[in-house]
Structure 1
Amino acid sequence: MSFKHLIDPAYSKSDYFPIDLSVNNTFWNENDVSDISTFEKYLEEKRTLTGKYIAHGGYLEQRALYRKSARFQAGVVRDIHMGIDLWAPAGTSVHAFMDGVVHSYAHNDDAGNYGPTLILEHDFKGKKLYTLYGHLSISDMDKWAVGFRFRESETIATLGKPGENGGYSPHLHFQIMTDMQDYKGDFPGVAAREELDRYDGVILDPNEFIFEKIL
């Protein structure tokens, strides 16, 4: 399996390092992970410490971040992150995971959501896979059309700024699904622990496709 460049291929696999935003990271007991300046400072410190640049992580990570947002407190507390995140500056290019067509897209513009979101449909070993790319730039949306084909590694978007990406430090939320369940331009990316069973076999571990076998 070759390395999958989801963001700017100028960054090699040696530029990536894991980051911990879980409730188990005691740093977030006293610091607000939802504050962009605090997070950016933390990120820069980790880059200096590791000598690497692209932070990644988050699959099935229980995050304190979501406990600070009303969006994730309605009914049950949703704080389990179901995709992976890759942190890089706004404007960094985003690339197709594999050959596919545009399934749907939307600007999910309420606070704490994905902002501009693109979903591609792929044929993989005789079955359908769907990949979600969230927190993109609004200007990219003019380039998308349902059914439009992208080739593997082709540029599909750029990372958005906090004012357009749902209010986050610039990053890509990437998620793999086997069934869209009638969603278009959107799919849940955060769940309550008691909801995880319903996503078993529907949301796949992106690390199995991208990181674990190569880093």
Structure 2
Amino acid sequence: MEIAPKLENLLRNYTGHLAPILDHDLNTPDVTRLDFTAANAQLLETDLRDTAAFEVFVNQMLAEKNATVGVGGYFENRVIYRRSEHFDGSQQARTLHLGVDIWAPALIPIYTPLAGKVHSFQDNNNFGDYGPTIILEHELEGITFYTLYGHLSRTSLDGLFVGKELAAGERVAFMGPYPENGDWPPHLHFQLMTDMLGKTGDFPGVCSLAEETAFRKICLDPNLLLRCKLLA
């Protein structure tokens, strides 16, 4: 069996301890889904290159739904990447989001749902990129896989080293403020991968429509670990 379906089945039926990724429960009424596709007409009227204006817009979306945390984005075809040349491919722009975003206040702690060790980390400091990024390596029943935490605070990288072990529920990082988080409104990009493709400290978080089939085999639904009912 290929790794992806085997891991997906393992995580879907996993009954061991999965620690929450935030102190905030993602299944409370003040958590809502946020839409960053072309279907959101208000988004098309927002100056996305102005990060302060973008943050105001995100907070307005949350307020309209009486929410304090926003979630969503797995394989969502987004328009927000037009803000940065980083996502413009030579043939086709990258618009499909490969992880789940959790929009919440800057500087709150972020935890690992499962025990693991640091695979790699770096500050991807292009405008619109991940900013400080940490990738953990995990193993369950002989299967190795990876989780990526992007848009972190720079202090999150202090004291890290490759191979550092973390227990389930141990703090990985802090939510980054802009501009140090890649210049985005504060949020966590959380991604689940079966293969690092030889990369360290970075991994595509967005792909083009032409790449969708290939990346669906590598980037599994992060909600297998988050267990957020809104994303089920």
Distance 1:178 1:168, change over 3 A: same
What pairs with 1:1-215 in structure 2 (closer than 5 Å)?
4-7=19-22, 9-11=23-25, 13-14=27-28, 15-75=30-90, 76-211=92-227
- Is the 8 Å Cα contact of residues 27 and 228 (structure 2) preserved in structure 1? no
Whole-Å Cα distance in 1 between the matches of residues 182 and 200 of structure 2? Answer: 18
| 1:185 CA displacement | 0.6
Distance 1:81 1:34, change over 3 A: farther
Distance 1:213 1:19, change over 3 A: closer
Give unmatched runs, 5+ long, in structure 1.
none
Percent of aligned positions that are identical = 37
| 1:71 CA displacement | 1.2
| 1:160 CA displacement | 1.2
| 1:198 CA displacement | 1.8
Whole-Å Cα distance in 2 between the matches of residues 32 and 58 of structure 1? Answer: 20
| 1:208 CA displacement | 3.2
Give unmatched runs, 5+ long, in structure 2.
1-14
| 1:12 CA displacement | 5.3
Whole-Å Cα distance in 1 between the matches of residues 71 and 42 of structure 2? Answer: 18
| 1:66 CA displacement | 1.1
SS at match of 1:156: strand
SS at match of 1:176: strand
Whole-Å Cα distance in 1 between the matches of residues 24 and 89 of structure 2? Answer: 41
SS at match of 1:111: coil
SS at match of 1:13: coil
Deviations 1:96-136 (Å, cap 9, x if unpaired)? 12100001111111111111100000112320110000011
Distance 1:109 1:23, change over 3 A: same
Whole-Å Cα distance in 1 between the matches of residues 230 and 71 of structure 2? Answer: 14
Query: Which amino acid is the alignment partner of residue 46 of structure 1?
Result: M
Whole-Å Cα distance in 2 between the matches of residues 214 and 47 of structure 1? Answer: 15
Whole-Å Cα distance in 1 between the matches of residues 214 and 65 of structure 2? Answer: 37
- Is the 8 Å Cα contact of residues 136 and 148 (structure 2) preserved in structure 1? yes
Runs of 4+ residues over 3 Å off in structure 1: 1-4, 211-215
| 1:11 CA displacement | 4.3
| 1:4 CA displacement | 4.7
- Is the 8 Å Cα contact of residues 136 and 146 (structure 2) preserved in structure 1? yes
SS at match of 1:143: coil
| 1:31 CA displacement | 2.0
Whole-Å Cα distance in 1 between the matches of residues 123 and 161 of structure 2? Answer: 14
Whole-Å Cα distance in 2 between the matches of residues 121 and 80 of structure 1? Answer: 24
